[in-house]
Amino acid sequence: MHNCINGTKKYQSILDVRETEKAIKKIKDYFQINLAEELNLIRVTAPLLVKAGTGINDDLTGVEKPVSFQIKDMNHTRGEIVQSLAKWKRLTLAKLNIGHEEGIYTDMNAIRPDEKLDNLHSLYVDQWDWERVIIAPERNLEFLKKTIRRIYRAILKTEEFLAAGYPSLEPVLPREICFIHAQELADKFPDLSPEGREAAICRDVGAVFIIGIGAPLKNGLPHDKRAPDYDDWTTPTELGPGLNGDIIVWHQILERSLELSSMGIRVDPEALEKQLDMNGSQGRRELFFHQKLLKGELPLSIGGGIGQSRFCMFLLKKAHIGEVQASVWPDEVLEECRRQKIFLL
């Protein structure tokens, strides 16, 4: 667990637990309305579980194992708790016949049992998951940036809305989000790790979108890993490969970078084939989701997830994600939080 001491000043939550609970609801209600307006989205109902072996569940970086179980009344078919809804959303766009410049969003609740637990990471994940239909000419970096600016506008509106109700929660975000490619970032901070680079750029600019996460950089390593079958991280742009990335902000309480969103233009059949080969995941071609995509039965899309607890933690200036969500924690984390008078829900 990260130490919640900032310099010589001990952390103290601005809002008490009761006011925190009220503020969480205000943030979630207000932000999702603005996100839907910015991107022209309708709300849909999301699953907590999917059938195993279909390719619908998110493999994240490809090594995390989902919670799975046998369904007794379905001839012991295996079910899986979702890890995210990246691929399910694209199937839903087709199922609901969502048109160009329209999309969906949902409350995604997931369990990630392999997560390393700390101030920012929990076994329980809650996101606004969204997906929007695009056309081939929009599969470019400028369209990606335009979409990010719309999302960032909803983020800024929510920060201002919260500050109006709670003046002690002063806005800290810059008016514009900065864009930088992962390779540019590596060139700028060649002696730092990817996490160190994120902290360095975020400390300088306050809010940044790092482009091109998943593709190998000049050193042969990606900035961070990405699954091969949802974001397009290999299509060349004027900066380098990658039509995806992360929205990252500077968390002043923890004095570190905080990822709020992972998103991108999704793979088309050509990019999927290429990324499966690069990732050594050729066998996925035979799965239900991948077959539909390769046959051209799914729309082109852009989409991502925005962490609800992360966003609330940031806006409410909390030191631990457990202050804004209910989960389970190791005994040593519980003891450390008690010692620092941090109340976990």
Averaged pLDDT, groups of 10, the chain, 345 residues long: 49 92 96 97 92 78 76 86 87 96 94 87 93 97 97 98 96 97 96 96 97 94 91 91 96 94 96 92 90 95 96 96 93 88 88
339 flagged as catalytic: no
What is the model's pLDDT at position 259? Answer: 96
pLDDT for the residue numbered 7: 41
Q: For the sheet with 49-51, list strands across it.
A: 49-51, 77-81, 68-71
DSSP state of 268: -
Q: Among 32, 122, 262, 309, which one carries the catalytic annotation?
A: 262
Which candidate in 184, 259, 273, 336 is catalytic? 259
Q: Please report the pLDDT score of residue 338 as a whole number.
A: 86
The 3-state DSSP class for residue 158 equals: helix
- What per-residue confidence (pLDDT) applies to 214? 93
| Residue type at 279 in one-letter notation | N
Q: pTM to 2 decimals?
A: 0.91
SS3 266: strand
Pairing status of strand 207-211 against strand 178-181: parallel
Residue 314 and residue 120 in contact, taking contact as beta carbons nearer than 8 Å: no
Q: Where are the beta strands (DSSP E) in the chain?
A: 41-43, 49-51, 68-71, 77-81, 103-111, 124-133, 178-181, 207-211, 244-251, 256-265, 301-307
**259 among known catalytic residues:** yes
Helix ranges, 128-219 (H): 141-165, 182-188, 194-205
Residue 317, pLDDT score: 96
CA distance 59 to 56: 9
Residues in the chain: 345
Fold (topology level) of 17-339: BirA Bifunctional Protein; domain 2 (3.30.930)
Residue with tokens 């994240």: 60
- Cβ 316 vs Cβ 169: under 8 Å: yes
Between CA 307 and CA 129 the distance in angstroms is 9
- Look up residue 286 and give its two tokens: 């035979």
Instruction: Identify whether 58 is a catalytic site residue.
Output: yes
Helix (H, G, I), strand (E, B) or coil at 331: helix
Which residue among 90, 112, 197, 310 is the active-site one? Answer: 112
pLDDT of residue 155: 98
> How high is the pLDDT of residue 14?
94
84, 127, 308, 309: the catalytic one is 127
User: What distance in Å separates the CA atoms of residue 304 and residue 230, rounded to the nearest whole number?
Assistant: 10
Catalytic-role residue among 246, 257, 309, 310: 246
Has 246 been annotated as catalytic?
Answer: yes
Active-site residue 262, yes or no? yes
